[in-house]
Structure 1
Amino acid sequence: MLWILLTIIGIFVLHYTTFGRKLYAIGGNPQSAYLSGIEVNRYIIAAYVICGAMSALAGVVLTSWLTVAQPTAGKGIELDAIAAVVLGGTSLFGGIGGVGGTFIGVLLLSIITNIFNLLGLSSYYQSIFMGIIIVLALVLNRFVVKKSD
């Protein structure tokens, strides 16, 4: 429930506030955003503060779910996070994407991971598959960006 609530808040902030529009502008081209009068460093710091707060919240939720503060509990989740974001349509080069697409990417990745677990596939092969997803999404993203130029 918390995940859905934070997703809705993120979608609202990015699409319907000037803060979100300025973040998209900075992600697309920081120099152009600066020349447009946006205080780029201030918004970048704000984005990092929000990311840090969300990471802390995720740590608290994970700790409460595991009922123990395991320091290595999140080891290896970075690849899953990147794969979900890229699968959701967010460009790693900036300015394109959003929270809604990432939400869909997480759902798809969860389904794929669940299927792999049901098939008894090793986590080693699951990591390879996540890497392949990231590479394919990057290649596809580059193709789409070049085609639109």
Structure 2
Amino acid sequence: PASFALLGERTFGGLVPIPVIIFAVVAAAAVVFLRVSAFSRHLYAVGGNEKAARLSGVPVVRVKVAVFAICGLLASLAGIVHAVQLNQGSPNDGIGYELDAIAAVVIGGTSLAGGRGSVAGTVAGALLLGVLNNILALNNIDSNIQLLIKGLVIVAAAALQRLRPTS
């Protein structure tokens, strides 16, 4: 449909793709949501120490269900934008994106142990990973070597997190 194809267009005189605007709006909404809502404090509490959050009166199960629902909503939005960009949909299209998602989050400084992280860091990690993917693809690096390099980047970022002092 025409409304579906509209998502793949450009705006502001052909300078900015609409998926970039969607990405910016979602990231900005996430930043605002995580800075001003009580739910975000519950989210960080559950991520930091689930048992302590439960003992503090945080509804842990409700927080987890809400987070999974939000993740599902955002995954569906990402799938729609991806289908628009390719002008087709395939159930096998997102294979391997899990590693990219984890790498972007870890590179952005989110603790794998939970309780610490930021949207701005994740966006920076995603942009850095996108540049890395582009460089590797343009240099015709084998896909298995690309996965190895991404894995090494994740390990290096996780190791740097262990060296960073906790605050």
Indicate whether the TM-score tops 0.5: yes
Q: Aligned partner of 1:2: which letter?
A: I
Fraction of identical pairs, as percent: 42
CA distance in 2, matches of 1:96, 1:113: 26
- TM-score w.r.t. length of structure 1: 0.93
**Equivalent position of 2:166 in the other structure:** 148
Task: Report how many residues are paired.
Answer: 147
- Which protein has the bigger helix share? 1
- Detail structure 1 runs of 4+ shifted over 6 Å in the superposition: none
**Alpha-carbon shift at residue 143 of structure 1 (Å):** 2.6
**Alpha-carbon shift at residue 56 of structure 1 (Å):** 1.0
SS at match of 2:116: coil
**Alpha-carbon shift at residue 99 of structure 1 (Å):** 1.3
- Structure 2 residue ranges without an equivalent (≥5): 1-20
Please report the RMSD computed on the Cα atoms of aligned residues, expressed in angstroms: 1.3
Q: How do 1:48-127 residues align onto structure 2 when only pairs under 5 Å count?
A: 48-127=68-147
CA distance in 2, matches of 1:121, 1:68: 26
**Equivalent position of 1:27 in the other structure:** 47
CA distance in 1, matches of 2:166, 2:72: 34
CA distance in 1, matches of 2:122, 2:107: 7
**Equivalent position of 1:11 in the other structure:** 31
SS at match of 1:91: coil
Q: Aligned partner of 2:142: which letter?
A: S
CA distance in 1, matches of 2:143, 2:24: 27
Give a deviation string over 1:51-87, Cα, whole Å, max 9, x none.
Answer: 0111111111111111111111111111111111100
- Which shows bigger deviation, 115-124 or 68-77? 115-124
- TM-score w.r.t. length of structure 2: 0.83
SS at match of 2:145: helix
Q: Aligned partner of 1:148: which letter?
A: T
SS at match of 1:148: coil
Q: How do 1:132-143 residues align onto structure 2 when only pairs under 5 Å count?
A: 132-143=152-163
**Alpha-carbon shift at residue 28 of structure 1 (Å):** 0.6
- Computing the radius of gyration from Cα coordinates, the structure with the larger value is 2
Structure 1 residues 148 and 91: alpha-carbon distance in aligned structure 2, compared to 1, 3 A threshold? closer
